[in-house]
Amino acid sequence: MNVAASPGDTTTFVCFRGLEFTGGSSMIRLYRCANVWIDSCTLHDGGGVGITANSSNTEYLFITGNLHFRILKIYR
């Protein structure tokens, strides 16, 4: 899930609550955002980190009560 605005704009007042994210290199990637709340979500089995917000200006980011895990699969 990429949360971004067009060049020169900022995405504001976004809330993800109680959602499930799975797969991808980063499950939630934030660009040019303000006032983003990620609450009570489940993030699992992605190829990289769960949430990234280090690539562009992001401010007032609230991450609360989430579950992040990877299921180990053993193939025989």
Above 80 in pLDDT, residue 76? Answer: no
Domains in the chain: boundaries: 2-69
Mind spelling out the 3-state secondary structure of 16-66?
A: EECCEEECCCCCEEECCEEEEEEECCEEECCCCCCEECCCCCEEEEEEECC
**Distance from C-alpha of 70 to C-alpha of 28, rounded to nearest angstrom:** 15
In this predicted model, what pLDDT tens digit does every residue of 18-64 receive, in sequence order? 999 988 888 898 988 999 999 999 999 888 888 988 877 888 999 99
